[in-house]
């Protein structure tokens, strides 16, 4: 156990150094992009900065942990078999970055036997460094943050996150519309890690995630959990481990029933709409 803790604490320092260096690079190149490349038919893109930041992060990790498994956004999978796995999103919010919108972050996560144990998220433009370690809490710029300061609400402010492949899937559209109508504000930043950090520090009331795993997901989940939040699926069951097709609700413990009911109502409306569209009654 002690050896695992030593690995986690060393990995945390490596991740912090890597995120800060990659973040400085991203900040220095911000608003200077000449072009970018389309990655797929869903509008996802990649820039030179994605590749440069990724190279910085991977070099630092591989120098200290050459036998660890790594999955990174642009590089892919190093195919190394190990209980320790790194998940890297070198520029979460690339679409924002490419159009000069300063909403992006670097996300680095360490997973042990499919359980997230450490995460670092760095927001270069505001110089906010979020660090979370299993059973050690979450901090922003070395100051502990918790969801205990989460505001009470009559109508919630909610973050919506969906996978690139979801697009305008009818069920997702109806749920999204239901949430939009029944909340004070529904936010879609296209930089999910920033929404997770907002939730962890109590500036959002909840997040609804629709089929969006991604390499940035597990850093955000750990940030929220270690700040006192809970993660459940759409049925209200506690979420653990990893899932290639997650449908999740994240919020303060006292608000779980509220958000589960909201999602259930939205999905029921989507089902009724689908049945009527098919001519069923």
245: pLDDT confidence band, cut at 50, 70 and 90? very high
Neighbours of 125 (CB within 10 A): 15
Domains of the chain, each with CATH number or no CATH: 2-145 (3.30.540.10), 148-277 (3.40.190.80)
Has 180 been labeled as part of a binding site?
no
Q: Structure pTM?
A: 0.93
Residue 129 counted as an annotated binding residue: no
- Is 276 annotated in some ligand binding site? no
Burial class (CB in 10 A: 0-12, 13-18, 19+), 45: middle
The answer to the question of whether 92 is labelled as a binding residue is yes
The reported pLDDT for the residue numbered 34 is 66
Q: What is the pLDDT of residues 94-130, one digit of tens each?
A: 999 999 999 999 999 999 999 999 999 999 999 999 9
Q: What is the pLDDT of residue 88?
A: 98
Please check if 233 is assigned to a binding site. no
């Amino acid at each position: 156990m002690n050896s695992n803790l030593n690995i986690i604490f060393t990995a945390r320092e490596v991740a912090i150094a890597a995120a800060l260096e990659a973040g400085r690079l991203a900040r220095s190149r911000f608003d200077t992009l000449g072009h970018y490349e389309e990655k797929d038919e869903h509008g996802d893109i990649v820039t030179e900065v994605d590749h440069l930041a990724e190279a910085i992060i991977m070099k630092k990790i591989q120098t200290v942990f050459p036998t660890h498994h790594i999955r990174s956004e642009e590089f892919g999978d190093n195919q190394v078999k190990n209980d320790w796995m790194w998940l890297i999103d070198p520029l979460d919010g690339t679409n924002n970055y490419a159009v000069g919108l300063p909403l992006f972050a670097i996300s680095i996560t360490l997973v042990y036997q499919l359980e997230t144990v450490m995460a670092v998220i760095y927001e270069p433009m505001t110089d906010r460094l979020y660090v979370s370690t299993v059973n050690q809490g979450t901090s922003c710029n070395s100051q502990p943050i918790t969801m205990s300061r989460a505001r009470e609400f009559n109508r919630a402010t909610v973050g919506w996150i969906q996978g690139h492949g979801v697009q305008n899937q009818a069920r997702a559209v109806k749920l999204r519309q239901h949430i939009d109508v029944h909340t004070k504000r529904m936010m879609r930043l296209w930089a999910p890690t920033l929404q997770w950090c907002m939730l962890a520090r109590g500036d959002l009331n909840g997040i609804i995630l629709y089929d969006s795993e991604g390499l940035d997901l597990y850093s955000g989940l750990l940030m929220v959990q270690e700040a006192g939040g809970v993660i459940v699926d759409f049925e209200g069951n506690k979420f653990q481990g990893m899932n290639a097709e997650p449908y999740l609700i994240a919020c303060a413990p006292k608000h779980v029933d509220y958000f589960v009911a909201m999602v259930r109502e939205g999905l029921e409306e989507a089902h009724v709409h689908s049945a009527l569209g098919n001519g069923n009654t």
